[in-house]
Chain A
C-alpha cells in the first residue's frame, strides 16, 4: 500500500541556516510527489511538484527513486518560511496521500 512518511514533527532553525524537510514514500507504481504548505491562518496550498523540477520561494525537492525520498531543501531559511509542510503522493490519477507533516520554525 502507498504510504508517505515525514519523520520529523518539528524542525527549528535560525534565519539563514539551511533547511531540509525529510519525506520518504512507499508506492509500487511510478510516483508523483508534491510538497504542500500551510502558513499560519492560511489555507493549505501546493508549494511544488517533482515533475516540474522547479524552485519555489527558494525551495527545491529532488525525487530519489533509489532511496524513495523527496526531501524539501532550502539553502537559507527565512522567518516567513515558518509553516506546516506536508509531503504528498499522488496515486490512482485522482487521489493524494499526505504525510503527517513537519512544522518548520525559523527563529530570527
Chain B
C-alpha cells in the first residue's frame, strides 16, 4: 500500500498562474484533508471532505478550491496563485467514525513557491 501520495512534490508558479495539487489514498478512507504548513504557524486546515462528493471549508480556505469526485482522490486548486500561498501543502486522510476519528495519515507534502 502506498498510503497517501501527493503530486507534484515541488512546483514553482508565477503570480496569477493556476495549478492543481492531487492527493490520492489507497486505504479506502472516508475523510480527507488539505493543510498548509508555514514556519512558526504549524499546520492549518484549508479544506476537508467527509466523503465522496462533499467538501467543507477549514481555517484558511480563501484562494483555494477543492473537489472530491472520487473517494480516493482529493484535489486542491489554486485559481490565481499569490506569493502568500508559498507554503508546504500536506494532504491527510482518516477513516473517521467513532473509534479513531482523529488518526490522520499524511502524505509527503508538496513544496510550492509562488514568485
Interface residues of A (CB under 8 A from B): 6, 9, 32, 34, 43-46, 49, 86, 88, 90, 93-101
Contact = CB atoms under 8 A, between A and B. Distances in A.
B31 interface: yes
Interface string B35-53: 1000011111100101000
Contacts of A94: 31, 48, 50, 96, 101
Contact of A9 (B40, B43, B109): B40
Given A43-B108, A44-B90, A95-B48, A86 B43 contact: yes
B61 interface: no
Size range of the chain B interface in the assembly: 20 to 34
Given A34-B102, A49-B102, A93-B101, A98 B90 contact: no
* Interface of chain A: mostly helix, strand, loop or mixed: strand
B102 A32 contact: yes
B73 interface: no
A37 to B, nearest CB: 11
Contacts of A43: 4, 106-109
A98 B42 contact: yes
Instruction: Point out which of B43, B59, B107 has the most chain A C-beta atoms below 10 A from its C-beta.
Output: B43
Nearest to A33: B102
A90 B109 CA distance: 22
B103 interface: yes
A16 to B, nearest CB: 29
B102 A101 contact: no
Contacts of B4: 43
